[in-house]
Amino acid sequence: MQKREKIYEGKAKIIYTTDDADLLIQYFKDDASAFDGKKKGSIREKGILNNGISSRIFLYLEEQGIKTHFIKKLSDREMLVRNLKIIPVEVVVRNVIAGSLSKRMGIAEGAPLKDTILEFYYKSDELGDPMLNEDHIRVFELATKEEVEILKDQAQKINDLLLAFLSERGIRLIDFKLEFGTNKDGIFLGDEITPDGCRLWDKETNEKMDKDRFRRDLGKIEESYQEVSRRICES
User: Residue numbers of the site for ligand TMP (CB under 6 A)?
Assistant: 92, 98-101, 121, 129, 175-177, 197-199
Instruction: Pick one of ligand ASP, ligand TMP, none as the site partner of residue 201 (Cβ within 5 to 8 A by kind).
Output: none
Comparing every residue's Cβ against ligand TMP, the nearest one is: 99
Instruction: Pick one of ligand TMP, ligand ASP, none as the site partner of residue 35 (Cβ within 5 to 8 A by kind).
Output: ligand ASP
Asked if 84 contacts 190 with a C-beta cutoff of 8 angstroms, the reply is: yes
Instruction: Pick one of ligand ASP, ligand TMP, none as the site partner of residue 153 (Cβ within 5 to 8 A by kind).
Output: none
Instruction: Pick one of ligand ASP, ligand TMP, none as the site partner of residue 73 (Cβ within 5 to 8 A by kind).
Output: none
Q: Which stretch binds ligand ASP (CB under 6 A): 13-21, 33-41, 105-113, 222-230?
A: 33-41
Sort strands 180-183 and 85-86 into parallel, antiparallel or unpaired.
antiparallel
Which candidate, 158, 173, 232, places its Cα nearest to that of 208?
173
Q: Which stretch binds ligand ASP (CB under 6 A): 14-22, 27-35, 58-66, 198-206?
A: 27-35
Instruction: Pick one of ligand TMP, ligand ASP, none as the site partner of residue 159 (Cβ within 5 to 8 A by kind).
Output: none
Q: How far is the CB of 54 from ligand ASP (least distance, A)?
A: 15
Which of 10, 37, 41, 110 is the binder for ligand ASP (CB under 6 A)? Answer: 37
Q: Is 224 in the site for ligand ASP (CB under 6 A)?
A: no
Q: How far is the CB of 114 from ligand TMP (least distance, A)?
A: 18
Nearer to ligand ASP (CB atom), residue 33 or residue 54: 33
Number of residues counted as binding ligand ASP (CB under 6 A): 8
Q: Is 36 in the site for ligand ASP (CB under 6 A)?
A: yes
Asked if 93 contacts 193 with a C-beta cutoff of 8 angstroms, the reply is: no
Comparing every residue's Cβ against ligand ASP, the nearest one is: 34
Q: What does the alpha-carbon distance between residue 160 and residue 226 come to, in Å, rounded to a whole number?
A: 24
Q: Is 33 in the site for ligand ASP (CB under 6 A)?
A: yes
Q: Got the DSSP string for the chain?
A: -----EEEE-SSEEEEE-SSTTEEEEEE-SEEEETTTTEEEE-TTHHHHHHHHHHHHHHHHHHTT--BSEEEE-SSSEEEEE--EE-SEEEEEEEE--HHHHHHHT--TT-EEEEEEEEEEE--TTTT--EE-HHHHHHTTSS-HHHHHHHHHHHHHHHHHHHHHHHTTTEEEEEEEE-EEEETTEEEE-S--STTSEEEEETTT--B-STHHHHTT-S-HHHHHHHHHHHHHT-
Binding site for ligand ASP (CB under 6 A): 11, 33-37, 129, 211
